[in-house]
Amino acid sequence: MRDFVFPGGTAVVTGAASGIGEALAHGLARRGADLVLLDRDAGRLDAVVAAIRAAHPDRRIDAHLVDLADADATDRVAAELRRRHPRIRLLVNNAGVALGGRFDQVTLDEFLWVIEINFRAVVRLTHALLPALKAEPGAHLVNVSSLFGLIAPAGQAAYSASKFAVRGFTEALRHELVDDGVGVTSVHPGGIRTRIAASARVGSGVPRDEFEAGRKQFEKLLTIDPAKAAEVILRGVRRRRGRVLIGWSAKLPDLLARLAPASYGKVLALGMDRNTAGVPAPRRAAESVAPDPERSV
Which residues are known to be catalytic? 159
Residues 6+ apart with CB under 8 A from 58: none
Write the CB contacts of 219 (distance below 8 Å, at least 6 apart in sequence).
197, 198
Q: Is 191 in contact with 219 (CB distance < 8 Å)?
A: no
Closest Cα to residue 128, out of 38, 40, 7?
A: 38
Q: Are 76 and 64 in contact (CB under 8 A)?
A: no
Helix (H/G/I), strand (E/B), else coil: 62: strand
Task: Assign 265 to helix, strand or coil.
Answer: helix
The whole-angstrom separation of Cα 194 and Cα 178 is: 33
Q: How far apart are CA 198 and CA 127, in angstroms?
A: 31
Q: How many other C-beta atoms are found inside a 10 Å radius of the C-beta of residue 261?
A: 9
| CB 229 within 8 Å of CB 237 | no
Residues 6+ apart with CB under 8 A from 295: 15, 18, 19, 20, 21, 94, 95, 96, 144, 189, 192, 194, 196, 226
Distance of alpha carbon 215 from alpha carbon 51, whole angstroms: 31
Q: What distance lies between CA 217 and its chain's CA centroid?
A: 21
